[in-house]
Structure 1
Amino acid sequence: MKNILENALKNSISYQDYRDLMHQLTAEGKSTGPIQSEELINYSLLNEARMKRLDKTIEIDDEVATEFQKIEEPQIWLVITESWCGDAAQNLPVIHKLAELNDKIQLKLVLRDENLELMDLFLTNNGRSIPKLIVLDNQLNVLNTWGPRPSFATKMVHDYKEKNGSLDAQFKQDLQVWYNKDKGKNVQEDFVNLINSTLIHS
């Protein structure tokens, strides 16, 4: 596993570099990843606009910021993502702002389809669901993971699948409405739990 993590980190980029890449690709009518379908390109265009707005508007609660000051040991937050992923677009701007709260946290991003060995170590219900965040210490021990969605959205998905069998366009629309109303609060709650759990076990 450590070799796979080391290789992924060599391929990783900063959040700003990821945003620059998205901006460049969408300007050229492209998405990340080997498949360049009209659908994925349209999702990427939508996500570029969404992330641009969220980068400016997401606010971190003071109580959350206080909790993040408890982190004293260096951590690497390695996130698996792609430009076409709607959940990544909603959550990455929040994760970026959380990582900025403490200089012990180093946020790194990798593209899923260029790092399938890594992705396959961190499946969700046997699926390559993104975004997936892996919390590492300096020796590349896995301290915790998160993703692909905030806890409340995960429950929404579970409940909808129980009732309807699969996710459809209506659910995806409902999920976006929820994200817009939530404004990153649930991610912040999840990450307070995540870092507190990590501190307890480290």
Structure 2
Amino acid sequence: MNSIITQSLARSYTYQEYRNQVATLLKEGKSTGNEQSEDLTHYSELNEVRMNRLDKTMVVPAENIKRLEEINSEMIWLVISEGWCGDAAQILPIINKMAEQSEKIDLKIVFRDENEELMNLFLTNRTKSIPKLIVLDKNTLEVLGDFGPRPTEAKQLILDYKATHGVVDETAKTELQKWYLHDKGLSTQREILNLVS
């Protein structure tokens, strides 16, 4: 596992580098990842707008900043993501804002399709669901925990919708985006803080 994590870290991006990579591909009419389609490019464009808005508006409350400042061991927060992923667009800006609050946290992002071996170590119900945050000890690269692909309440929303309608369709995705909008990143912050503190 250590060698896979080391290889992925060597291919990782800072938050700004990740954003630049996605934006550059969009200028070429492409999305990130191995698969290319109009839908994935469209989702990537939507996500760019969402992430730009969240970068400006996302707030880490004072009590969460305090908890982040109290982290006493150095960590790498390694996130597996893709530009077309709606959950990643909602969660990555939050993770970035949290990481900015502590000198002990080094945020790194990798693309799922370029890091299949890493993704296979962190499957959700045997699926390659993203985003996936892997919390690592910076010195040993020991995995301290992981979070994702979405907060518990958002997971339940999708499970309930699928149980009722038998499918996750555009309506479900819209409901999920509304949930994120109302939650303002607080569930994600709470779950990640419980993982790292």
Q: Give the TM-score band, short-chain normalised.
A: over 0.9
In structure 1, how many angstroms separate the alpha carbons of the residues matched to 2:40 and 2:63?
Answer: 37
1:15-26 alignment runs, 5 A limit: 15-26=15-26
Matched length: 196
1:162 lines up with 2:163 in the alignment: yes
1:37 aligns with 2:37: yes
Deviation of the 1:35 alpha carbon: 1.6
Residue 26 of structure 1 contacts residue 48 of structure 1 at CA under 8 Å; is this kept in 2?
Answer: no
CA distance in structure 1 between the aligned counterparts of 2:37 and 2:163, rounded to whole angstroms: 30
Paired with 1:151 and 1:128, the residues of 2 have a C-alpha distance of 17
Q: How far did residue 76 of structure 1 move?
A: 0.5
* 2:125 paired with 1:129: no
Residue aligning to 2:189: 188
Of 35-44 and 162-171, more deviation after overlay is shown by: 162-171
Quick one: percent identity of the two aligned structures?
Answer: 53
Per the alignment, residue 199 of structure 1 pairs with: none
Provide the alpha-carbon RMSD of the alignment. Answer: 1.0
Aligned to 2:92: 92
Determine the structure 2 residue equivalent to 1:140.
141
**Which 4+ residue blocks in structure 1 deviate beyond 6 angstroms?**
none
Q: Distance in 2 between matches of 1:158 and 1:69?
A: 35
Aligned 8 A contact 1:76 1:135 in 2:
yes
Query: 2:47 and 2:110 mapped to 1: Cα distance?
Result: 17
Moved more, 185-194 or 87-96: 185-194
Q: TM-score, normalised by structure 2?
A: 0.96
**Structure 2 alignment gaps of length 5 or more:** none
SS of residue matched to 2:162: helix
Instruction: Give, in whole Å, the separation in 1 of the partners of 2:71 and 2:147.
Output: 17
Residue type of the alignment partner of 1:142: V
Secondary structure, aligned partner of 1:120: helix
Query: Quick one: distance in 1 between partners of 2:25 and 2:54?
Result: 19
Letter in 2 for 1:54: L
2:46 aligns with 46
After superposition, what is the alpha-carbon deviation per residue over 1:119-154, rounded to whole angstroms, capped at 9, x for unaligned? 000000000000001000021110000000012101
TM-score (structure 1 length as normaliser): 0.94
